[in-house]
Structure 1
Amino acid sequence: MASARFPRRTLCSAAERAAAPGWRSRWDRLKNTKAGVWCRSLLSDYRDACRDVVQDAWARPLRASLMASLVGGGWLCVQLKPDYPSFEARLLEHSTRLGLLSPWTRSAASDGHVQSVAKLRNEGRLRYAGLGLLSVVYRADYDGAAALYEARCSSLAAPWRELPARLLDVGFAGRWWVLDSKMKDYDVNEDEFTHLPPHMRLTAVPGVQQVDENERLHRESWTPPSVDTTDSDSEEGQREDRQ
């Protein structure tokens, strides 16, 4: 019982102090100080700004929806922005895929790009930079751990205007776009078709009629050939008559 009475007495005494005139006068003096006036003005400004936003959204719903979509899309792009470990993992994955193929089968463009980027990674010359909604990977002239004067001097560093020429990949919405585009048809060697005429190098998606015709020809190729027995019967009859 004593343990239950102690919190009750504490709460009652706190309520009595809050209701006392001295406590109210102390609270009024605190509100009238510079810090209190600044806090009240700040809260008032935020209240007015929120009210204006709600009124403007109610008056212009299409514009409010567009702005909310842009803000939400930007926040989603920031959350899905790929980092440098994801680029390394993607590079090693593509390098493994190409390594499982024969040199006569893999694409020369895909293999050349992946091998060049992997070489820069092994040399420590890859650099990563986050630019808000997207991230970029570019090449540097020296390894980050190199102790050369040219690598340490900030005056000799490459300027930012040379970034487009050094750019290797762009990461956006959870993907590395240049690396993935270079791996398109990575298992097709374009050099095998260089001796063909130009009209045979291009491939197009077959139409519905062409697909049906190919399926019909395929089914007919599995049917046994028919043998006409009328000619053989007539020939046997003529032989019997001659005999």
Structure 2
Amino acid sequence: MFCAATEAAVAPATSSRWETLKNSKAGVWCRSLVSDYREACKEMVVGAWERPIKATAYMTLLGGAWACFHTKPDHSSFEAALLECSNQLGLLSPWIRNMTSDGHVQSLVKLRNEGRLCYVSLGLLSLVYSANYDPDTTLYEAQCSNLSVRWWEFPKQVLDVGFAGRWWILNSKMQDYDVNEEEFKYLPAHMQLTSPPSVQEVERNERLHKDSWLALTMEDKEKETSVVDREEESQIQPLKEEQTQA
């Protein structure tokens, strides 16, 4: 009896508290916020159903932005790419290195050793740029904001752009890194350009390559010996004529 009376006394108080909280300013604001979000989601679904092409375009843009954000390279990836390019060039002789690739990588390595190679993330892409001083430098010129680089001069200091999981300028500079163009600049113009072989040349080379695997027959050996004998006779004949003249 006492328990039933206690429950009956607590129930109105609990319901009254809930009603008070529900009708308060915070409760009204939360209900209106949930209602607005529900209406917005409903309108989004209805609009996507009525205009599928527009919705597909928006979803593609959002998906592309999300993919670019998650595949954006970071500072450690640039360090690894720079180290790999430096090792690739180090395995080559200085005579066959591409001067453009070697100069670009050497300048980046020098800036890195000086602590002037900086990295910044812009959301969908990353930038690597050169600073005038190391950030830890305590010189007055390095710490004074009035002597810092102006924003319109910043594009001149950008060294690389990271987008979609790769560093574009570094990869473009490393194209044909094992071809030294200075080696061929003294050749005639018709020898500086190369053209891909034709189909007939490719077939001929493949045929000669397959024929090189075949074993020599006796006829081929006899032909080779006869050719060698003729060459020896042609070399001995002038010597005999010289001896008779002497």
Q: Under TM normalisation by the shorter chain, which class is it?
A: 0.7 to 0.9
Q: TM-score, normalised by structure 2?
A: 0.80
Of 128, 145, 162, the residue aligned with 1:137 is: 128
Q: Deviations over 1:192-233 (max 9, x none)?
A: 1112222322233334333223323545677768678xxxxx
The amino acid that maps onto 1:151 is A
The runs of 5 or more residues in structure 2 that have no matched partner are: 224-246
User: Structure 1, residues 168-209: CA drift from partner, whole Å, max 9, x if none?
Assistant: 000001111111111111111112111222232223333433
Partner of 1:86: 77
Query: 1:45-84, aligned counterparts within 5 Å?
Result: 45-84=36-75
Counterpart selection for 1:176 from 145, 150, 167: 167
Quick one: distance in 2 between partners of 1:96 and 1:215? 35
Aligned-pair CA distance for 1:45: 0.5
The one-character-per-residue Cα deviations of 1:34-64 (angstroms, maximum 9, x if unpaired) are 0000000000000000001000111111111
SS in 2 for 1:20: helix
Distance 1:41 1:100 in 2: 68
Residue among 17, 34, 59 paired with 1:26: 17
Residue of structure 2 in register with 1:240 after alignment: none
Matched, 1:112 2:103: yes
Q: Is residue 103 of structure 1 aligned with residue 104 of structure 2? A: no
Distance in 1 of aligned mates of 2:213 and 2:187: 31
Q: Does 1:148 align with 2:139?
A: yes
> Are residue 165 (structure 1) and residue 147 (structure 2) matched?
no
**Counterparts of 1:137 and 1:60 in 2: how far apart (Å)?**
41
SS at the partner of 2:53?
helix
Matched to 1:47, the amino acid is R
Report the Cα distance in structure 2 between the residues aligned to 1:22 and 1:222, rounded to whole angstroms: 101
In the alignment, structure 1 residue 198 sits paired with structure 2 residue 189? yes
Aligned residues: 215
Quote the residue 2:201 is aligned against: 210
Separation in structure 2 between the aligned mates of residue 78 and residue 206 of structure 1, nearest angstrom? 44
Amino acid at match of 1:83: D
- SS where residue 119 of structure 2 aligns? strand
Per-residue deviation, residues 57-111 of structure 1 (Å, max 9, x unmatched) = 1111111111111101101111111111111111111111111111112111111
Distance 2:124 2:195 in 1: 37
Q: Structure 1: which 4+ aligned runs deviate by more than 2 Å?
A: 19-22, 202-210, 213-228
- Give secondary structure in 1 for the equivalent of 2:197: coil
Q: Where do 5+ consecutive residues of structure 1 fail to align?
A: 1-12, 229-243
For 1:138 and 1:189, the matched residues in 2 are separated by 27
After TM superposition, the structure 1 stretch with the greater mean CA deviation from structure 2, 57-66 or 35-44, is: 57-66
Question: Equivalent residue of 1:119, what SS?
Answer: helix
In the alignment, the residues of structure 1 paired with residue 182 and residue 115 of structure 2 have an alpha-carbon distance, to the nearest angstrom, of 32
| Residues 228-243 of structure 1 mapped to structure 2, 5 A cutoff | none
How far apart, CA to CA, are the structure 2 residues paired with 1:132 and 1:214? 53
When normalised by structure 1's length, the TM-score is: 0.81
What is the one-letter code of the residue matched to 1:160? W
Identify if the C-alpha distance between structure 1 residues 222 and 20 changes in structure 2 by more than 3 Å, giving closer, same or farther: closer
Q: In structure 2, give the amino acid aligned to 1:155.
A: N
